[in-house]
Amino acid sequence: MTRCMICGKDLEIELLRCPSCKSAFRGRFFFSRLARLGKEEQTLAEALILHGGNLKEMAHTLQMSYPTLKKRLNELAASLEEKRSQDQARIDAILDAMERGEMPTEEGIKLIREINGEL
């Protein structure tokens, strides 16, 4: 689940816990762009990877026409681009907060790296 069941906005992760050693990490964590895709989009992205980008084979496996597959892949790309733009807006807000002294530089850099999938 990556969206709020009440308002539909993106959720943030506040606690990560290791079931093995019981260590817990509290903070502000973000879902990756791929994790924020809808279920059908994730399934399509997974199929694309598993088929090695072979769209003809993928269309056959998913039992859809090649033009339909291309349309859905274009929609997937648009969705990822929208999420990339959302991430950039978050990064810009973090940079602004750092510049105004409202957020420690170290925390801002950590958040930006996490948004970019570097952690």
3-state secondary structure of 25: strand
* Domain around 108: 36-115
Distance of CA 40 to the CA centre of its chain: 14
pLDDT averaged over 10-residue windows placed end to end, the chain, 119 residues: 86 89 87 90 96 96 96 97 95 97 94 87
**Given this model, what pLDDT does residue 42 score?**
95
- Structural domains in the chain (count): 1
Helices (H), the chain: 39-50, 55-61, 66-99, 105-115
Q: Is residue 73 part of a domain?
A: yes
**Given this model, what pLDDT does residue 31 score?**
85
Q: Is residue 11 part of a domain?
A: no
Q: Is residue 54 part of a domain?
A: yes
**Given this model, what pLDDT does residue 41 score?**
96
**Given this model, what pLDDT does residue 119 score?**
66
Q: Is residue 10 part of a domain?
A: no
